[in-house]
Amino acid sequence: MARYLNYISKVMCGNCRYKGRIKIPVGLAIEQIPCPKCELKELHHPSYFGLKEV
């Protein structure tokens, strides 16, 4: 049985405040992926900034 290679997670950039959902390869942390808008590695889950998930 095949395992999933990617998962989709809500992210928010600490630099430009980009919000969205991105595909993250299994085995990588969100912080290791550059922001699609500003290209800095500042992505975090919204709860990191104290925001509740809606």
What pLDDT is recorded for position 54? 53
SS (H, E, C) 8-49: EEEEEECCCCCEEEEEEECCCCHHHCCCCCCCCCCEECHHHH
Closest among 28, 31, 1, 26 to 14, alpha carbons compared? 31
Instruction: Please write the tens of the pLDDT for every residue from 23-33.
Output: 998 888 889 99
Which stretches of the chain score pLDDT less than 70?
A: 1-2, 53-54
What pLDDT is recorded for position 2? 58
Q: Which two tokens stand for residue 34?
A: 């550059």
What pLDDT is recorded for position 14? 92
For the chain, the structural domain boundaries read 6-49
Coil vs helix vs strand at 6: strand
